[in-house]
Amino acid sequence: MTLAPFAAAASAADTVVVDFLGAVLIAVAASFFAFYAGLNRRLNRLESQDVFWGYLVFAGAAAAVYGVVGVAETIVRARLLTAFGHGALLLCTVFLAFSMREVYYNSALAPPSGESRVSLGSLRRIEAGFVAVVVVEWVAVALLDQVAIARFVKAGGSLAFATYGAVFAEKLESVTRGTPLDTLRRHLLPVVVCLGAIGVVDLGTAAGVPPVVVDGVRSVFVVLVAGFLTTATIRLQQNVEGLSTSE
């Protein structure tokens, strides 16, 4: 009598438990993050930062949806759930990337409007179009059950927007150094990087990596995102306390 089937079943059960815990952690952490980002937006007196805080609220909401879908997927496997979960992951990456771009264009580092080839308004429209194309393509491919193509669409979109956000985050270092925004930027940069990694990790299956290894690596990054969102939320909470005191 071989014990291989029992070992495989135990391994699968362990994977489900880890996936469940990771999904719960990111759902809870992202919900608090969105809540405190919303408080910062409401209490903030600088109208120019409203869009920035709004992006953070949407990023937290998208990450929370990703976590909730992840919990649901541990109970029932459905292609539609997977499609919306990965779409939420992509949108979270997008909104965090856009928040970094928004701060940069509102800083002293941004080129004057007369010298910039692309205005902020035009850049926003270009970004919105690109996001719409990626999301629609991903959902369409996923619903048509083209799993391999869907992985590449998700990986390409996640990597592109994570890189986009990381570039603007690095550009902001010199202009925000020593400010509360710099602290928040340093907390959010690892989130952007880990989100990009989550989007790419599924390509390991196409490369012949065992699914259990791919799932394990993804779970590690999901837990890291939850942890980084928690530290960023603490920063947001401290900022809310400071804004409330100054009123």
pLDDT tens digits along 30-81? 999 999 999 998 888 777 778 889 999 999 999 999 999 999 988 887 777 8
The overall pTM is greater than 0.75: yes
* pLDDT digit string, tens, across residues 125-145: 777 777 776 677 666 666 666
What DSSP line would sit under the chain, residue for residue?
---HHHHHHHHHHHHHHHHHHHHHHHHHHHHHHHHHHHHHHHH---GGGHHHHHHHHHHHHHHHHHHHHHHHHHH---HHHHHHHHHHHHHHHHHHHHHHHHHHHTSTTSPPTTT-SS-HHHHHHHHHHHHHHHHHHHHHHHHTT-HHHHHHHHHHHHHHHHHHHHHHHHHTHHHHTTSHHHHHHHHHHHHHHHHHHHHHHTHHHHTT--HHHHHHHHHHHHHHHHHHHHHHHHHHHHHHHHHHHH-
